[in-house]
Amino acid sequence: MEESKRNLLDEEAKASLDIWRYVFGFADMAAAKCAIDLKIPEAIENHPSQPVTLAELSFAVSASPSHLHRIMRFLVHQGVFKEVPTKDGLATGYTNTPLSRRMMITKRDGKSLAPFVLFETSPELIDPWLRLSSVVSSPANGSHPPPFDSVHGKDLWALADDNPCFNDVINEAMACHTRLVVPRVAAACHDLFEGVATVVDVGGSTGETLAILVKEFPWIKGFNFDLPQVIEVAQVLDGVENVGGDMFDSVPKCDAVFVKWVLHDWGDKDCIRILKNCKEAVPPNIGKVLIVESIIRDQKKTMIVEDRDEKLEQVRLMLDMGMMAHTSTGKERTLKEWDFVLNEAGFARYEVRDIDDVQCVIIAYR
């Protein structure tokens, strides 16, 4: 009984602190966006003396010293930057960390996710988050418009078509994610590209994925496949042909299909339709479809889970909330849910490969 009381008191004490995370949870995103907007990580990285004092940093980024001090105090506390003594020991200054370097908007090194932060903190995406309750409480027949549509009067893709600046933000976010994850896929799936002459990237956008794949596997001819208006602004790349079309109608013939972070935007019915078209595009005996998506754990953990695995799972669950806020029917899927859509699409078998990231690779064989 005494132990039960102590546990209850511990839970109450923890809850009294945890609730503040939900009161001011947005502060993390807002402060990170501020650092990216001001290019604070770049200013620190490029400064001739290290660490960089507040006076030096405020001059470098043209910021108010008092306000910048408060932003940096918060971000140092959150572990984004470090504050250390200067060489003479008379003051303190700031240095970058591996995390702050991932907030460099000017870096295209396969680590920075700064464009993704700017995408997720854009006004177009913030407002729908505040209307999650409307879609959760709506009838199962979906009579209430999704949060994004409710705010903007159209879905995300239609808004992007009408707003070139917002479309650029989306493309940059997707490109930075591609630079992060596709090299991991290539390393984990090198054997799958042996003997493959042609690859179609479905929903390939600007062509960033195939740029990486044809460099890694130079014998491949890549076809960057997306809607005609997307292909109009796609990169011109050696070894890659840009092809306009609609994945709901058909997918160009090839030896292998690559589809990354596309299927989670759609409900099961649409997902199955896309997968069927992908299956029809590849040869009957050796054809395969490489799907780069998240897989949410089917049930609560029943054993000790590594801290990194637990943090990756948290990202997947947050991503699923994003799907609910920003798409009409999209969702992250469990392995059981992936099994359903793959079987319904008619694939003979599939396997899953871990790439030690938020996503994994599902290889579906025709």
Instruction: Give the residue, 268 or 87, on which the prediction is more confident.
Output: 268
Residue 331: per-residue pLDDT: 96
pLDDT tens profile 350-360? 999 999 999 99
pLDDT tens profile 37-83? 999 999 999 999 999 999 999 999 999 999 999 999 999 999 999 99
Residue 22: per-residue pLDDT: 92
Read off the pLDDT band of 4 (50, 70, 90): confident
Instruction: Give the residue, 95 or 305, on which the prediction is more confident.
Output: 95
Residue 127, pLDDT > 80, answer yes
Residue 306: per-residue pLDDT: 78
Cα 228 → chain centroid: 24
DSSP-assigned letters across all residues of 268-293: HHHHHHHHHHHHHHS-TTT-EEEEEE
How would you class 83 by CB atoms within 10 Å of its CB: exposed for 0-12, middle for 13-18, buried for 19 or more? middle
Domains of the chain with CATH codes = 21-102 (1.10.10.10), 178-365 (3.40.50.150)
- Between CA 182 and CA 3 the distance in angstroms is 50
Spell out the residues 6+ positions from residue 170 whose beta carbon is closer than 8 angstroms to its own.
Answer: 119, 156, 160
Known catalytic residue at 264: yes
Spell out the residues 6+ positions from residue 279 whose beta carbon is closer than 8 angstroms to its own.
Answer: 287, 289, 345, 346, 347, 364, 366
Read off the pLDDT band of 142 (50, 70, 90): low
Residue 234: per-residue pLDDT: 87
pLDDT tens profile 168-206? 999 999 999 999 999 999 999 999 999 999 999 999 999
Read off the pLDDT band of 143 (50, 70, 90): low
pLDDT tens profile 226-239? 998 889 888 899 99
Tokens 């799936």: give the residue: 189
Cα 244 → chain centroid: 24
3-class SS of residue 225 = strand
For residues 173-206, b (16+ Cβ closer than 10 Å) or e, as one string? bbbbbbbbbbbbbbebbeebbeebebbbbbbbbb
pLDDT, averaged across the chain: 93
pLDDT tens profile 23-38? 999 999 999 999 999 9
Q: pTM of the entire structure? A: 0.91
Residue 141: per-residue pLDDT: 58
First to last CA, the chain: 59
- Between CA 280 and CA 253 the distance in angstroms is 8
Annotated catalytic residue: which of 67, 144, 177, 264?
A: 264
For residues 256-274, b (16+ Cβ closer than 10 Å) or e, as one string? bbbbbbbbbbbeeebbbbb
CA distances (Å), 216 to each of 71, 186, 233, 324, in order? 41, 7, 24, 35
Percent of the chain clearing pLDDT 70 (strictly above): 96
- Between CA 156 and CA 150 the distance in angstroms is 11
